[in-house]
Amino acid sequence: MNNFTALFSGLIFGFGLILSGMINPAIVLGFLDLAGEWNPALLWVMAGAISISAIAFHVAAKHQRTYLGLSIRLPSSRTIDRRLLTGSFIFGMGWGVAGFCPGPAMVMAGSGSTKAIIFTIAMLVGMGIFEMWQRGNRSVA
């Protein structure tokens, strides 16, 4: 049941990305181009996503388990530190340069887009490097 739920949720998420235009790098880059011909269309997508997420986090914070019985682990730290800022900066730069963020890149990679496949491979390699770096730092500490 959990695998089916994950698949169903992923399909709905992917369909939402396609429907909203988030998988089109030109639309994303147009949204990020504040000095040029700014395209505000994704502002509504983000506003909707933030609204739904805010409600979901509010509901999740009141429960110990999901509706499927899995434990809920929300972030406990509210500290804005160098690690958070660095990760946010790298994420934003990657999004701005490539025009993809992880979700839309995976949807586009699934449709055969060469650029999205290259981006997804690079993203996975970067995640692997970060994991190895984290393990190395944990063993030193």
Q: Which of 38-42, 43-47, 116-120, 136-140 has the lowest mean pLDDT?
A: 136-140
- CA 96/CA 25 separation, integer angstroms: 9
**pLDDT value at position 117?**
94
The mean pLDDT value for 11-16 works out to 88
Do the beta carbons of residue 109 and residue 120 sit within 8 Å? yes
Q: What is the C-alpha radius of gyration for the chain, rounded to an integer number of angstroms? A: 17
In the chain, % of residues over pLDDT 70: 97
Residue 1 has pLDDT above 80, yes or no: no
Q: Give me the residue spans of the domains in the chain.
A: 2-140
